[in-house]
Amino acid sequence: MVWGGFTSFPIAAGGVSTYIPGSHFRLCVFPAGPGSILQTVAPPLNFLGTVMAEQPPICDFGWKAPDFSLPAIDGRDYALADMCGEKATLVMFICNHCPYVKSVIDRIVVDVGALMTEGLGAIAIMSNDIETYPEDSFENMKLFAQTHKFPFPYVIDRSQEVAKAYGAVCTPDFFGFNADLSLQYRGRLDASGKEAVPGARRELFEAMGEVMATGKGPQGQIPSIGCSIKWRSGD
């Protein structure tokens, strides 16, 4: 739902969380409706002061993909033009340590790999602060990609400027573009969270297949969920 131009979605305890565009804050209403308690929450803490997952806003259809040039674990630098697909392009923000990524990384590899054989271009970007989270270091990126047999480039965004340009919020965060590099999908991989959901509908796979076939993504999209991007102190 949309309140006053802000994107809202249900959360636990009968509440509604509203993403504030251009910020790292959200408004939380507990419970939703008349007589609600309104609070401003700075991720990753919820109104109880406990760690909560992050969710990105809904798809801004038609938004154009920003260019970038980032070093990859294979020794190359990749620009947007280097990895664009004939029919569609998928930019993924992931990392090595996040449990939300770990629970679905093999599904990402399978689904994205299958789509790449049909004309999708894909890249994974790691933007976390590696000083605070050494598990996300460049060397560990190499091990993570090797262990899970990535079929797509895995690059590091040391300055975090690319994550900011895309408005990335969490890991994993998916940006699906059509052949004209217009955003058509900003949803989740599937219904999994910290644990993989058996037999979950392949939402990203289906959506990007639709984008590849028609140039347009589905109107109904459910945001991804994951650990917040680990911004450097002071950023």
**Ordered domains of the chain (ranges, CATH):** 2-41 (no CATH), 69-228 (3.40.30.10)
Residues ≥6 apart with Cβ < 8 Å to 97 = 128, 133, 135, 136
Residue 81 — very low, low, confident or very high, per pLDDT cuts 50/70/90? very high
Segment 97-145, tens digit of pLDDT: 999 999 999 999 999 999 999 999 999 999 999 999 999 999 999 999 9
Is cis: bond before 31, omega within 30 of 0?
yes
Cα gap 224→190, rounded to integer Å: 8
CA distance 20 to 179: 29
Provide the whole-model pTM.
0.79
pLDDT value at residue 57: 82
Cα separation values, 32 from 37, 48, 113, 118, 225, Å: 8, 17, 40, 43, 21
Tokens of 11: 């959360």
Does 3 score more than 80 pLDDT? no
List all residues 6 or more positions away from 214 whose beta carbon is below 8 Å from its beta carbon.
none
Task: For residues 88 and 108, give the distance between their C-alpha atoms in angstroms, rounded to a whole number.
Answer: 16
**So what's the pLDDT on residue 56?**
84
Cβ(126)–Cβ(154) below 8 Å? yes
- The per-residue pLDDT for 53 is 77
More reliable by pLDDT, 95 or 13:
95
Kindly indicate the confidence band of residue 52, based on its pLDDT and cuts at 50, 70 and 90: low
User: Residue 116 burial (CB < 10 Å; 0-12/13-18/19+)?
Assistant: middle
Q: Is the pLDDT of residue 24 over 90?
A: no
| 47 has a pLDDT exceeding 80 | no
Q: What is the pLDDT of residues 196-214, one digit of tens each?
A: 999 999 999 999 999 999 9
pLDDT surpassing 50 at residue 150: yes
